[in-house]
Amino acid sequence: MMMSLQDVLFSQGFGTRRICSGLIQQGHVTVGPDQQLCTDPGTVLETEDLVFTVQGSRWPFQRRAYLMLHKPAGFECSHKPGAHPSVYTLLPAPLRQRAGTAAAGVQAVGRLDQDTTGLLLLSDDGKFIHRLTSPRHHVPKVYEVGTKHPVDDRQLQRLLGGVVLDDDPRPVRAAACERTGDCQLRLTLTEGKYHQVKRMVAAVGNRVETLHRSSMGPVHLPADLPPGGWRWLTQDEVVALAGGAVS
């Protein structure tokens, strides 16, 4: 796909076309692996494998953004948070301002409570988000749970057999559940109800003290991605999450 340099910057979230034009004309943008200075906003470029820098920061061109974030505790998955800062403030401004979608910027693929840590996927691809969040697709999500009281066999069997939550008469079941310590369990869910893990654990007579999402579908949170850190998803990860179909 061919685009002018000004439109490249605009599509990637670097501001209005006027701001992007100014960045280019003022010598803040270089293009290609050799970081060639380009001061003409109308320069036409091939976007495939395009890498550019803006004010010294390196960016790969991404037609759609797919990324993972290691969410720390104390952040809300909302653009308009209440008592805690927004998880979106952990991302560079261009990712929050990407153009070309109904809602500007990347959006969280589902939400984690402010005190829950772990893997959070984000994208500006609406079809991708819908596929991962729709209960129709049963995408597994794995949680590492710390409980107040020791986990016994009866609690494990009830979580696997199904518990009734107060907003749904149908039993909600864990797809998998195993004890990983006296007060620790690994819980796999394929749906995403409000505070589901906490409410399921409470329904079997225990209480969640810590909650961490370690994986979603085939993607696992890397051990070397620190809390608050993010990275682009690889093409293989995107295809695996999307079931082979990426818009």
Q: What is the pLDDT of residues 132-166, one digit of tens each?
A: 998 888 999 999 999 999 999 999 999 999 999 88
Mind listing the pLDDT tens digit for each residue in 108-128?
999 999 999 999 999 999 999
Q: Which residues of 12-40 are buried (b: 16+ CB within 10 A; e: fewer)?
A: bbbbeeeebbebbeeebbbbeeeeeebee
CB under 8 Å to 82, separation ≥6 — which residues?
76
Tell me if 246 is assigned to some domain: no
State residue 150's pLDDT score. 98
Residues recognised as catalytic = 113
CB under 8 Å to 182, separation ≥6 — which residues?
150, 151
- Mark whether 99 and 72 lie in a shared domain: yes
Q: Positive or negative CA dihedral for 3, 20, 109, 225? A: positive
**Contact (Cβ atoms closer than 8 angstroms) between residue 216 and residue 139:** yes
Please state the φ and ψ torsions of residue 100, each to the nearest 5 degrees.
95, 5
- Mark whether 171 and 149 lie in a shared domain: yes
- Mark whether 51 and 84 lie in a shared domain: no
Tell me if 247 is assigned to some domain: no
- The domain that holds 127 is classified in CATH as 3.30.70.580
How many structural domains are present in the chain?
Answer: 3
Q: Which residues of the chain have pLDDT under 70?
A: 100-103, 244-247
